[in-house]
Amino acid sequence: MLRKEQNDLLTQTGPGTPGGRLFRCYWMPALLAGELPENDCPPVRVKILSERLIAFRDSNGRYGLIDEFCAHRGVSLWFGRNEECGLRCAYHGWKYDVSGQCIEIPSEPEASGFFNKIKLKSYPLVARGGVLWTYMGDPAAQPPLPEWEFITVPPAQTYTSKRLQENNWLQAMEGGIDSSHVSFLHRGDLNSDPLFKGAKGNQYNLSDARPVFEVVESPGGLYIGARRNAEDGKYYWRITQWVMPAFTMIAPRGNHPVHGHFWIPIDDETCWAWSFDYHPVRQLTAAELSAMRDGKGIHVRCEPGTYRPAANKDNDYLINRAAQKAGRTFSGVEGIGMQDASLQESMGPNVDRTKENLVSTDNGIIMARHRLLRAVKALLDKGVTPPGVDVEHQKVRSAAIVLPPDQPFKDGAREAMIARPSVAPASV
C-alpha cells in the first residue's frame, strides 16, 4: 500500500515534478542507434519524461535531441528536412543545429542576426553500445557517460531491443524486481524458450514454487535474493539487481546470455521497456540473435515498422485459452515479455496503490519504493546526488549460484555481483 501523494510522487516524471527531477539526474536510453542509421537520415519523434522531442543525426554524424516544435509557429520538426548540418522546418525554412540553435531564418535579413536569438531546448544525445543516451538534467551536474556492462562489451556480445509498454514506468519496473511471479506466470516457458531452456536452475525454479527472499540494500539500489532448495541441503540463489531508478537485471540461466531491462517513462501513462541480452565472455550465437529478433526470451515481436508489440491490448494480447488450459502458458499469453506486459497493462495506466494488499514476499518492491522516496527527498531537500548516478554503481551483474545454507548470498556471491571484463557470469 502506498499513499496517493507518495504514488503521485513516484509515478509523475514530467518537468518540475519531484520524480521528474530524480530521473533528470541520470543518463537514460532514448533511442536505438539503428533508429538514426546514417547522416542526414529522417528525424525521429521522441517523448521522454513527458517532453516532446525530435532526434536527428546531422551531415557530420552529430546527434541532436531538441524540442520537437519550431520556435516560429509551433510546427513539428518531424516534417523537417535534415540537410547540410541542420534540421530545417518544412513550413518556413527555419533551420536548427544539433544544439537547438537556430542557424537560419530565410525570411529575415541574415545581417539582422535574429536567428541568434532563437534556440530550442536541447539535450545531449550520445551513442554508446548501440543505444543513444540522453541526459535531461542540469548541464552543470551532468554525470559521466553510463558504464553498464551490456554497452561496454564488444558489439558482437550484446543485443538490445525496445518496446512500448502502455502503463506507468513504476508498475513495469516493479515487475522486474518481483521474483516470486516467475514460478507462476512464466513456468510454461522455462523449459521451452530457446533463451531459457536447458539450464539446471530451471528445475530448481519449477520444483520449489515458494522461494524465500532476502533483500539487501546495495550502493546503487538493491540486491534481491530468491532462495530455493538445491541438493545436499544447499540453496539455489537467484539474485536480481535493481539500480536506481529504473534498471533491473534478472539472474541468468545456464550458459544463456545475461539479461535485464530499463524502464523509461515516456509520460505518466506509458514507458519504454528496454530489453538487453549480452554475454560477458563470448559472442552471441546466430541462433541466439535470431531468437531475440524473433521475440523470444525477454524480447517481443513488434508490429512491423514500430516498437509496439504485435500482441497488444488492441488484440487482447492474442490470448490463447486452449494453451492456458493445457498448461503450455500460465496466462494464455505467449512470450515472457508479453506475459509481463499484458498483466501490468491490465492494472490500468497508473495503478491505484492505495488499494493493493502487499505481502511479505513483496519486500523488494516495498524497499525499492522506500529508496526512491528517500532519494527524492534527499535530492529536493539537500541536493544529494541519488544512487545509481555514480558509474561504479552501474558495474553490476545479476547472478545464479548454489551456496551452503549458512552463507549469506551477499558474501557468497560478492564477486559474482560485480561486472568484471572477461569474467564469466555466475550462472546455474
Shortest spacing between CB 316 and other proteins, in angstroms? 5
348 binds other proteins (CB under 8 A): yes
Packed helices 336-346 and 169-176: angle between N→C axes, nearest 10 degrees: 140
361 binds other proteins (CB under 8 A): yes
CB 184 within 8 A of CB 205: no
Stretch of 23-31, 271-279, 313-321, 384-392 contacting other proteins, by CB under 8 A: 313-321
Exactly one of 111, 286, 322, 359 binds other proteins (CB under 8 A); that residue is 359
181 binds other proteins (CB under 8 A): no
374 binds other proteins (CB under 8 A): yes
Exactly one of 8, 147, 269, 390 binds other proteins (CB under 8 A); that residue is 269
For cell 540453496, the residue is: 235
330 binds other proteins (CB under 8 A): no
Considering only residues 206 through 235, tell me which ones interact with other proteins, judged by CB under 8 A.
Answer: 212-217
Shortest spacing between CB 348 and other proteins, in angstroms? 4
| Cell representation of residue 216 | 539487501
* C-alpha distance from residue 392 to each of 24, 68, 217, 306, 331 (Å): 19, 34, 15, 34, 39
Count of alpha carbons within 13 Å of 222, Cβ hemisphere only?
29
CB 254 within 8 A of CB 201: yes
* Spacing of C-alpha 314 from chain mean position: 23
Stretch of 62-70, 95-103, 383-391, 408-416 contacting other proteins, by CB under 8 A: 408-416
Stretch of 116-124, 301-309, 361-369, 395-403 contacting other proteins, by CB under 8 A: 361-369
SS3 call for 241: strand
CB 132 within 8 A of CB 124: no
Integer-rounded Cα radius of gyration of the chain? 22
390 binds other proteins (CB under 8 A): no
Shortest spacing between CB 351 and other proteins, in angstroms? 8
Judged by beta carbon, residue 253 or residue 353, the one nearer other proteins is: 353
Judged by beta carbon, residue 137 or residue 364, the one nearer other proteins is: 364
384 binds other proteins (CB under 8 A): no
Exactly one of 34, 404, 408, 421 binds other proteins (CB under 8 A); that residue is 408
Shortest spacing between CB 305 and other proteins, in angstroms? 20
CA distance 266 to 28: 11
Total residues at interface with other proteins (CB under 8 A): 42
Judged by beta carbon, residue 34 or residue 408, the one nearer other proteins is: 408
Count of alpha carbons within 13 Å of 374, Cβ hemisphere only?
11
| Cell representation of residue 280 | 560477458
For cell 517532453, the residue is: 51
Alpha helices by DSSP H, listed for 208-305, are 286-293
391 binds other proteins (CB under 8 A): no
CA distance 50 to 136: 12
User: Which helix or strand (DSSP H or E) is residue 394 part of?
Assistant: helix 391-394
SS3 call for 197: coil
Judged by beta carbon, residue 176 or residue 364, the one nearer other proteins is: 364
Count of alpha carbons within 13 Å of 313, Cβ hemisphere only?
14
CA distance 19 to 378: 12
Considering only CA atoms, which of 291, 339, 346, 336 is closest in space to residue 313? 346
367 binds other proteins (CB under 8 A): yes
Count of alpha carbons within 13 Å of 296, Cβ hemisphere only?
18
Stretch of 95-103, 114-122, 169-177, 310-318 contacting other proteins, by CB under 8 A: 310-318
Shortest spacing between CB 7 and other proteins, in angstroms? 12
Judged by beta carbon, residue 59 or residue 306, the one nearer other proteins is: 306
Per-residue DSSP letters for 17-83?
A: SHHHHHHTTSEEEEEEGGGS-STTPPPEEEEETTEEEEEEE-TTS-EEEEESB-TTT--BGGGSEE-
166 binds other proteins (CB under 8 A): yes
CA distance 253 to 251: 7
Exactly one of 156, 358, 380, 384 binds other proteins (CB under 8 A); that residue is 358
317 binds other proteins (CB under 8 A): yes
163 binds other proteins (CB under 8 A): no
324 binds other proteins (CB under 8 A): no
| Cell representation of residue 209 | 514454487
Exactly one of 369, 393, 395, 397 binds other proteins (CB under 8 A); that residue is 369
Exactly one of 74, 107, 109, 357 binds other proteins (CB under 8 A); that residue is 357
Positions touching other proteins (CB under 8 A) are: 1-3, 166-167, 212-217, 269, 313-317, 342, 345-346, 348-350, 352, 355, 357-363, 366-367, 369-370, 373-374, 406, 408, 410-411
